Amino acid sequence: MKIALTVESLCFSYQSRNEVLKDLNFKVHENEILGILGPNGGGKSTLLKLLAGLLKPNTGTIKYSNEELTTPLIYIPQKEENNSAYPLTIGELLAGARLPKEVVPKDEVLSALEQMGLKLPINRPVSSLSGGEYQRVLLAKAILFNARIILMDEPTKGLDSVGQDKLLELIQHLKSTRNASIILVDHNISQVLKHCDRLLCLNKNYHWHDHKEHVNKSILESTYHCEFEHLLIHEKKGGILDHDHHHCEIDHHQEPSKGRKE
């Protein structure tokens, strides 16, 4: 598969604070979903903003396949980050999908909504949409933008399990039909394991990835339990990853609890 995005030796810290991301290396291919997991403060949203170009890395590089600044990339933030004061309608949101180049015609807006399985009036305010509808409208925006890389910050937040499944299936459909690379941050371990092609687990200075075939929900929950602090898992070790692979003082074998989730 063709590589869409390469991250090499990426380090980032906010002003005068400890490093949020340290020596991060990974690649994302076309037609692939990368799921980013990790505890709060682990640097997930920061990484997404770095990939979007909203933040600049201290050191390291982020390269897109065509190495042009015009890579069609769309950033879908959490709903709470939008300015809810404006009575923005679905039509207005989607009409602006190709700004600053052009205003999207109404028929294209309707077609994109239909592709996402939505039959909503375009004059409906975005603020009145349910979480699932809102995410699907934003996927329609990604279609209209003809995005090749889609960055999504917690798309399943606030959805029930059925809604999460439906949305992630739509994301998978979008990936395969448009040959897009999708990078999503999520806290829902089961859904990420089920729907993402590859994983990236982050906790500030620690990260690991490319072990989806070896991990399961309980291992990931255990890593959440000790918040990756003493986790020393690296790609080169290979094999089945279990509790013996991290050096945590807590004996997970003795613990009835599956661990603390965020």
Residues in a beta bridge with 70: none
Reduced 3-state DSSP string for 197-210? CEEEEEECCEEEEC
CA distances from 102 to 67, 142, 144, 247, 259 (A): 24, 15, 11, 54, 50
CA distance 76 to 137: 11
State how beta strands 206-209 and 73-76 pair: unpaired
Q: Least distance in Å: CB of 20 to other proteins? A: 17
Q: Least distance in Å: CB of 69 to other proteins? A: 9
CA distance 42 to 174: 28
Q: Least distance in Å: CB of 62 to other proteins? A: 13
Q: Least distance in Å: CB of 194 to other proteins? A: 27
| Residue 89: strand, helix, or coil | strand
Residue 37, token pair as written in the block: 């997991």
**Binding marks (x or -) toward other proteins, 220..249, rule CB under 8 A?**
------------------------------
Q: What is the DSSP string of 101-115?
A: T-PPPHHHHHHHHHH
Interaction between residue 256 and other proteins (CB under 8 A): no
* Count of residues touching other proteins (by CB under 8 A): 31
**Minimum CB distance to other proteins smaller for 11 or for 55:** 55
Interaction between residue 185 and other proteins (CB under 8 A): no
Instruction: For tokens 């929950």, name the residue.
Output: 221
Q: Least distance in Å: CB of 52 to other proteins? A: 5
**Minimum CB distance to other proteins smaller for 103 or for 240:** 103
Q: Which of residues 58-77 bind other proteins (CB under 8 A)?
A: 73-77
Q: Which of residues 79-108 bind other proteins (CB under 8 A)?
A: 81-83, 85-89, 91-93, 95-97, 99-101, 103
Q: Least distance in Å: CB of 87 to other proteins? A: 6
CA distance 193 to 40: 19
Q: Which of residues 126-155 bind other proteins (CB under 8 A)?
A: 145, 151
CA distance 129 to 7: 35
Q: What are the residues binding other proteins (CB under 8 A)?
A: 49, 52-54, 73-77, 81-83, 85-89, 91-93, 95-97, 99-101, 103, 123, 125, 145, 151
